[in-house]
Amino acid sequence: MNICEKSKCTACYACFNVCKKSAIVFKEDKYGALYPVVDSEKCVHCNACKKICPNNKKKIFNIPLKCFAAYTTDGNKRRMSASGGIGNGFAEYCIDKGGFFYGAVYKDDFEVVFKETQNFDELENFKGSKYVHSHINNTFAEIKQHLIEEKKVVFIALPCQIAGLNSFLQRNYDNLITVDLICHGVCPSQYLKNEISYIEKKKSAKVKTCIFRNNAGLNFCFVLVNSNKTIVYKRGAYFNPYFRGFLTAVTLRENCYTCDYARKERISDITIGDYICLGKDTPFSGNKDNASVVIVNTEKGLNFYNNFLSENKDFVSEERDYSEAVKYGPSLNSPFQKHRLTDFFRENYERYGFAVAARKTLRFEIFKEGIKRLCYMSFHFYRIYKLPRKILKRIKK
């Protein structure tokens, strides 16, 4: 039974959470992406899965009310954050109020899953960008139970996962704050696991931590660290096949190329992400390096954000015109187009698996990137070399 059109399925797990007969499991297709499969022996044909799927409903989007540039002034917290640390701030505020925070964490095998916490010490596991598809599992059912018990919940996820939760709940809860991340798209989780396994074999090392982004000198680098906190592998974003495939939209899930949520209108209470080109058109009074954009989409979200700021004086927040964020934020306008190499990559993936397929597909692209960078550096070195001679000529004149 097809729950929805496959090319639109985001694997949001709404169908999995609503099925009372546990008849739905997620399995990989030939390209490594997860999709729901219905066990015909368990299914009673109640069609609850079809009714709850957000792709089979008219989606309700919010026109943003306000837009802010924000960041924490706490250096230690900012250091390990992907941008301004606003996500971690929301998590701490939620826990401080006795609520449940839900976000994505790595498992030991580098599969990304959703987890709840009421523990400040566990928040380190939630920090940093995770550029891979995450597994919701039974998170929606857990959240619903907390909401019924009148517990506060903050849920930070991708917009398609927020849509899945909203559809599953079928009503608006005052004690729930949904926060979506501005999303470029995601790669199947199998790709990241394959890439790390490939590098572990090459380096004869066991990897403990994977880092894509932080403000501690590892921004936009693919970094693997062992249990001794020693860097095993480090490459710039465009020189690692996994990171480059993600950024250039070669290796995304099929649904990401026609994403309904990459638009100005938003699905959640609050949207957060990188504030791209902050201050380029209109001056910004604060530290514009890696600041967060905070787009408030509902009155509930605005009340939450105002209360958060009133109790967290270590956050700088300046209101901006939303058009600025939209102008320089591609994922606030439209989904990324499928790359011309995507089909070639998928053909190779079926034969060789991710690590070899990505290297076969992107080898020349990475080579061209190296040449481009070398030319750029050579040009600037030449300008620096010529500068003293120009100065001496002017002095002589």
Domain boundaries, the chain: 6-56, 66-332
Residues 260 and 190: their CA atoms lie apart, in Å, by 24
CA separation (Å) from 344 to 35, 186, 251, 349, 363? 22, 18, 10, 9, 13
Phi, psi (rounded to 5 degrees) for 312: -130, 85
Give pLDDT, residue 213: 85
Residue 380 scores a pLDDT above 70: no
Residue 69's pLDDT band, with cuts at 50, 70 and 90, is: very high
314 DSSP 8-state letter: T
Residue 117, pLDDT above cutoff 90: yes
Distance in angstroms (rounded) separating the CA atoms of residues 137 and 116: 12
Higher pLDDT, 385 or 165: 165
User: What average pLDDT does the segment 149-156 reach?
Assistant: 97
At 239-251, the pLDDT tens digits run 999 999 999 999 9
Side chain identity at residue 221, one-letter code: C
- Whether 175 shows a pLDDT value over 70: the answer reads yes
| pLDDT of res. 389 | 57
Q: How far apart are CA 333 and CA 314, in angstroms?
A: 32
Give the contacts of 354 (CB within 8 A, at least 6 positions apart): 32, 190, 191, 194, 195, 198, 242, 251
The CA angle 126-107-132, to the nearest 5 degrees, is 70
Residue 390 pLDDT exceeds 60: no
- Helix, strand or coil, per DSSP, at residue 209: strand
Paired strand residues for 21: none
| Mean predicted confidence (pLDDT) in 357-381 | 84
Nearest-10 crossing angle of helices 139-148, 159-169: 50
What stretches of the chain show up as alpha helix (H) in DSSP?
14-18, 48-52, 75-79, 86-96, 139-148, 159-169, 189-203, 241-247, 299-311, 322-328, 342-352, 354-396
- Residues 132, 5 contacting (CB under 8 angstroms): no
| Tokens representing residue 53 in the block | 């799927």
pLDDT class for 74, splitting at 50, 70, 90?
confident
Region 158-163: what's the mean pLDDT? 98
What is the predicted pLDDT for the residue at 370? 86
Residue 41 three-state SS: coil
Query: Which residues, including other chains, have CB under 8 Å from residue 232's CB and lie 6 or more apart?
Result: 199, 200, 203, 205, 207, 224, 225, 226
Say what the pLDDT of residue 79 is. 74
Per DSSP bridges, beta strands 153-157 and 100-106 are parallel
End-to-end CA distance of the chain: 84
- CATH label, 6-56, candidates 3.30.465.10, 3.10.20.30, 3.30.930.10, 3.30.70.20: 3.30.70.20
The arithmetic mean of pLDDT across residues 155-164, rounded, is: 98
For residue 213, the 8-state DSSP code is -
Residue 346 has what pLDDT? 98
Contact 239, 368 (CB under 8 A): no
pLDDT tens sequence across 33-61 = 999 999 999 999 999 999 999 999 999 99
Report the pLDDT value the prediction gives residue 383, as an integer from 0 to 100.
Answer: 56
Residue 256 has pLDDT above 80, yes or no: yes
- Stretch 256-277: mean pLDDT, rounded? 97
Widest Cα–Cα separation across the chain: 92
Q: Which amino acid is at 91?
A: A
**Mean pLDDT (the chain, rounded):** 92
Supply the pTM of this predicted model: 0.92
pLDDT at 82: 77
Q: How far apart are CA 11 and CA 187, in angstroms?
A: 12
pLDDT of 379 over the 70 cut: no
Average pLDDT of span 324-339: 96
Q: How many residues does the chain have?
A: 397
Average pLDDT over residues 144-172: 97
Residue 388: pLDDT over 70: no
